[in-house]
Structure 1
């Protein structure tokens, strides 16, 4: 653990990674350590808070980059909040926006060294911690390490809202034990790696070979996470095999 409460870093770049979704690359402080799946607090240091107190210029955001990456990446769905509008319009690069960055936090991480099958369930921008985890697994495979079988069930209203869609396809090619299934709720899809509908008990049983023996990690809006938690409990999946993380303010 570090005794530093906050680092001062720069905003380096921003990239649109899906409809209404932007990834922000920020400086990684020297000796900044984290595990795939953890999150940070990001504060806009030059932010003028609205007079109504609706936004304090700070957000908890999952790290989307992998631990071996040179810089850090976070991603957000662009909404009409003062924080996101400020971040979207801010200068980048050497003269980029100054940000306050906390040390990494959280225990939403894959168990070290375990090969129990893993099911990752993401709703919308809830993909961010899983993208970090999958890129970390990719690095482990490249280093000759054994990794668990992983099924990613990624729910969105449309395929255009699926972040890092091409990158996820590339990960399937480099991580042989990975399957990615896009689940699209508001349109009919004709795609070999996508299904129409919602992530529910039937879909999980259809798509996950050892669904009772798998370890589940679930991230997304509160209602989705709670519904899936109840669903797995009803299906008899032991609660110790289920790890959840709510994305408040989704």
Structure 2
């Protein structure tokens, strides 16, 4: 069984025009639905690579109040077939640097984009089988050089069971590829469970006396420092209708 290969992209929109993320996500989910019936990958003017093997698994509006720059969209792509499948198809468009590579229907809509290639690790769910959620927690962790796999194994065996008790289900467990200092995890959660988790943490800190505390949430933060070597951040994503990870799925 070959390793799952994914791509996570963060897209910024400036100047601050609140409708640009919606225009981008609407365009993106619409044209990817058209690719579902495509038999072979094609490089087309204005669209870049069109392929059913490069699958838009998740399209999200970044919840700015949780720490994202405003306004931002996040997308999660599943490269079916791994390195020799969707990833190869994406790389092939750079062979010879075809002029169509520089044409896009959304020129000037995006201000900037940052992509992370991701490799699944043991215990990472198949995106076609995970339950959808109201919100997704996106974690980026800077780890000690070479510690990504160890950190992710600790997440799988220690943190995932704890968060499951708080209504979080694991969606992605990824090593960031082509570097040795970053890991990414993705979790699905309801709004109510997100709030309950935050209050349980507050109570463990002695900052909320109206709910039961869960000191294990603080224990994990200390345990994570065995692997971390820099910033660790969680932010929330709201799924945009039309992708597989949105409630109702891609048929929405």
TM-score by length of 1: 0.29
Q: Which is bigger in relative contact order (C-alpha 8 A, separation at least 6)?
A: 2
Which structure features the higher share of helix residues?
A: 2
TM-score by length of 2: 0.29
